[in-house]
Structure 1
Amino acid sequence: MTPLFTIQCRHDYFADGVCRALSLVPTQRSAALLARYRLLFRPLPGGGSIYYEDGASPLAQFSESAPLAFWLIGRDPALNDYTDVAAKGSTGLFYFDNLHCKPKSSSKLASGPLTAPRLSAYPPRFSLPVDPARRAARLDLLGQLSGGAPPVWQAQSPDATLSALPLDFSALDEGRYRLNVDGAHTLDFWLGKPPSNAWGVAAIYPGGLLLADSVPAAARTIDGKGEVNLKTYSIELAARSVRWRYHLIGQSGMNLADYQLLATRTTGETVHFEGAPGDTVDGRPSYCFTASDPLPLAERPGDKVSVQLASLPQARTQLSVNLAYPRMGNVGGAQGSAQNRQQFADIFVYL
């Protein structure tokens, strides 16, 4: 078997860079499509590969408008908490495809802070609430290919005033679609039923006889003659960064200002912490050291940053202690003004 393409999820939160919090599974329709062309899916940590067999897989006859789609299955409920997600608070499936890959990064479906759209998923038949109610509305459904024009489906709703429009897309392939009602954009969605633990969906348009001219040449894996251009499509996620806060909690009579935090990145740069008296904790004094700049969360933070508590010369008790690192449970809610809201990871150190 020869690889046709691979989808690989990477995340700089993990020590080895492999996003083991996600696994890849073909959708039901795509599994049938793979079988039709005698293609084999093999899972990998954080992804999977599609293979073909020379002389047996009829790639020269590959002629499909539907993508090869894969559910990204979430294995860690905290994934979004340690991922740099640009659109906080939005819901739905993260959506990725290879139709808009830039020539210089043709294999990257996403990179850096996660800006992928989030789509609600709908079955082939459903009712869409509308406000105000509509009568004999013009319905246009736009697909992902050719800029969405012309519509892949058109209809008119019943000649009655309805607050929910009945829709039937059972004749269409699964994929991402945009619905316009009377010319106004109304819904951007994924047509298909995801499993309950789906985090996202990746749609790969391979090319082939039907789509070779619609998919960027640098991003397709099958040309118009059935020739294969092996691709590795990557989803590269960034770790979320927050400001770390260390709360020193001392015994009565201790002057906590006589201590300092010494922090360095493994690359050699100093990490600056600002100290100030904190609130009393259980009747004991505290002192708070706050990182001047946000620091990334990590599976093994010690691989990136070293933090030590050290005494100043005048300290009554001399200490040199390697401090613990923040975990997801240490990250609190956003603080500050609406224009400058920040999140903090709090670590409490009892002396």
Structure 2
Amino acid sequence: MRFVPLFGVRVRHDYHGAATCGDLSCEPTPETLRLIARYRLRIREVPGGLTVLAALAADGQTPLVGLPRDELFAFHLRVRNADFALFTDLQELTCKTDPVFSNEALAASDRRTLDLTDRQSWNMEGFVVAPGDTKRQFSLAGNPLALDGDALKTPQAADFRLMPPAGTARITAYDAATKILTLQLGAAQPDLTVRYRVRPNRDRRFLADVELRYNQSMPAPGTSDAPFEIPFKVRAGRWAYYLVTDQKGDFSIVDTRSGTLSISFSAANRTTLNDFPDDPDPLASELSRQYPDLRRVRFLSDQAVPCSIATRSGIELRLGDQTLLRPLPNP
């Protein structure tokens, strides 16, 4: 029986450049495994991702089992490299309460980069209204979030919704400290149900989820792997070198590589720690304790440098015009 690619998923990380990123694995959920079995599909793990394969019928062209549109394939992203957070910019990811990479908004022949979205979780609570009440306060059992899911915001009355039939009732106030919701009620008011956003019960073993809807963004079976991409950006930080010496003179750090990608260590960011101790710098403080009688100099790069697996081999330590050490190790 012949199998052809149905779709693929690959992790792309700027840290690795054009090379394969093996820092994450893409694991199918139990529901997806049942989906794979139902439609006689196969999963082939590849470096940096996976490919889902479909069996072909006897004609060698059509799938053996037809796959209807809108079926959902879900996967978990698991971190395999303990140092992943050290070189990855996770700011956009950590702003999500339940991050999901999705193809929902992609169209046919569109870009292959998955969108990072936020899965929404909601809670509903019902309240009994006594006859004749015109104003009531209800204490919520759950823990509401702001409507946009931002856990740092304090929920307001506008973040809650009354589910129909609500009559003429309306929410007038919410006290986040006591979780008390105040409502103005109408005549012959029916019992009420309120809906609000909550923090999802997220599985912290995984970095994020991937949800791929079998929609128009999917290629025809067997036409190509056409993998969807999950992109990650690198962190950037200023490089620091520390020199401990008994020599005098003008020491400097120089990147001999020319062009816009070179790193500069100007005199403005060169500090003689004997004259200007920097107590908040733990390494500077430690060197001061270990080598109080020696000259201690810190060289700080002028700009933040993006993390990269590629080694910069042109950085050297100089005394005046004389090269003392080359290449210096990358921080």
Identify whether the pair has TM-score above 0.5, normalized to the shorter chain.
yes
CA distance in 2, matches of 1:90, 1:278: 39
Partner amino acid, structure 2, of 1:271:
I
Shift of 1:106: 2.0
Rounded Cα–Cα distance in structure 1 between residues aligned with 2:298 and 2:93: 28
User: Is 1:186 the counterpart of 2:180 in the alignment?
Assistant: no
| Residue 54 (structure 2) pairs with residue 52 (structure 1) | yes
Which residue of 2 is the match for residue 206 of structure 1?
A: 214
Looking at structure 1, the residues matched to 94 and 242 of structure 2 have their Cα atoms a distance apart, in angstroms, of 29
What RMSD in Å do the two structures reach over aligned CA positions? 3.7
> Residue 13 of structure 1: SS of its match in structure 2?
helix
1:279 aligns with 2:261: no
Task: For residue 277 of structure 1, report the CA deviation from its aligned partner.
Answer: 2.3
Compute the TM-score of the two structures, normalised by the length of structure 2: 0.64
Which of 246, 252, 255 is the aligned partner of 1:260? 252
Which residue does the alignment assign to 2:16? Answer: 14
Structure 1: which amino acid aligns with 2:301? A
| Structure 1 residue 13: Cα displacement | 1.3
**Hey, what's the Cα distance between the residues in 2 that align with 1:98 and 1:88?**
17
Structure 2 distance, partners of 1:161, 1:9, is 45
User: SS at the partner of 2:89?
Assistant: coil
Aligned ranges 1:219-234 → 2 under 5 Å: 219-221=217-219, 230-234=225-229
Q: How has the CA–CA distance of structure 1 residues 230 and 17 changed in structure 2, closer, same or farther, with 3 Å as cutoff?
A: closer
Deviation at 1:271, TM superposition (A): 2.1
- Counting aligned pairs with the same residue, the percent is 20
Matching residue of 2:25: 23
**Alpha-carbon offset, residue 255 of structure 1:** 2.6
Kept in 2: contact 1:20–1:45 (CA 8 A): yes
Output the amino acid matched with 1:278: T
**C-alpha contact 2:75 2:209 (8 A) present in aligned 1:** yes
Do residues 67 (structure 1) and 72 (structure 2) align? yes
Determine helix, strand or coil for the equivalent of 1:35. Answer: helix
Distance 1:17 1:265, change over 3 A: farther
1:137-176 matched pairs, under 5 angstroms: 162-164=140-142
| SS in structure 2 of the partner of residue 87 of structure 1 | helix
Shift of 1:108: 0.9
Q: Does the aligned pair in 2 maintain the 1:2–1:54 contact within 8 Å?
A: yes
TM-score by length of 1: 0.61
What 5-or-longer segments of structure 2 have no aligned partner?
130-137, 144-158, 164-194, 275-287
Q: Distance between the aligned counterparts of 2:222 and 2:22, measured in 1?
A: 32
Cα gap change, 1:72 to 1:180, in 2 (>3 Å): farther
Q: CA deviation at 1:260?
A: 1.7
The Cα shift of 1:269 comes to 4.4
The alignment covers a number of residue pairs equal to 254
1:291 and 1:43 map into 2 onto residues whose CA distance is 41
Compare CA radii of gyration and give the structure with the larger one: 2
Per-residue CA shift, 1:70-108, capped at 9, x if unaligned?
Answer: 111111233223112333854755310112237775211
Q: Deviations over 1:219-246 (max 9, x none)?
A: 2335xxx897753101122221111111
